Amino acid sequence: MNTLNATIKMGRFLALAGLVSLSVTSCNLLPDDDDNNTSTAPSPPTPAFSDGYATLAAVKSVTFQDIPGFGQVEVDFGLAVGVFFNGVDYDTYLNAGIVSCEGESLDEQDNGSYVFLPSQTSATGIDFSGNPDWNVGGSANVPAFSHTTSIGFPTVGSITSSKTVSSGSDYTLTVANVSGADSVIFMMGGVVHTQAGNATSSTFTSAEISGMGTGTNFAQAAAYKIEEAT
């Protein structure tokens, strides 16, 4: 069985601000589709990698809510995800013992990944007012380690593009601003585009949109930064 060295080689830490704020109505894209079709809001998109021995992602899920008398109010939810590999097989995740971010324990999932989601006792999730602090208890295959990131979080503004997509047309998903990002992920209806860190928009072709059907789909943007540690 492959095991990790005494230190994590190329352990990757992500600071990601994922915006989930706009439901987009698609009009008359496919004539046989049900106009009442709706979609459930997905989790913020995160990048996937196929190198290194671990990826630990601190995620700010950002929503903008319209409050009468106050306008748009930003609401943040703190999430965390961790996966550990043997450096060869990136489809199989390793047990790493107890994993926590900012003192909050992540739950190990059936597929071996570790996830923290907001709950009734922690409605807004992890407080990321400072730099995320990670602690990994370790196992027979993964050494114990602690690490505090130093890259901070990127920022991504509210989605400013239209809430309606016309049939047979391209659609440009646009956010107000992006700063401090290495890359920006734009996603709509399950279609994902990855753009440069200064990108504030991405265009989805009519062919991509046609597969989404009519009804409501969620548009998202996620700006992320990467820190690698050994």
3-state SS assignment for residue 26: strand
Measure the CA–CA gap between 117 and 124, rounded to whole angstroms: 9
H or E stretch covering 206: helix 206-210
Residue 25 has a pLDDT of 47
Query: What DSSP line would sit under 46-76, residue for residue?
Result: -----SSSEEEEEEEEEEEEEETTTEEEEEE
First to last CA, the chain: 21
**Arithmetic mean of pLDDT over the chain:** 79
pLDDT tens over the chain, length 230 residues: 233 333 333 456 666 665 444 444 444 333 334 444 444 444 555 566 666 788 899 988 877 777 788 877 777 889 999 999 888 888 899 999 999 999 999 999 999 999 998 888 888 899 988 889 999 999 999 999 999 998 888 888 888 888 888 778 899 999 999 999 999 999 888 889 999 999 999 999 998 888 777 777 778 888 888 888 87
d(CA 115, CA 49): 17
Partners of 206 in the β-ladder = none
State both tokens at 54: 């671990």
Give, for 210, the enclosing helix (H) or strand (E). Answer: helix 206-210
Please tell me the distance from the alpha carbon of residue 107 to that of residue 23, in angstroms, as a whole number.
29
Contact 37, 72 (CB under 8 A): no
Quick one: pLDDT at residue 168? 80
Report the alpha-carbon angle 122-123-125, nearest 5.
65
CA distance 127 to 221: 21
Closest CA to 161 of 208, 213, 221, 74: 221
For the record, the structure tokens of 103 come out as: 């003192």
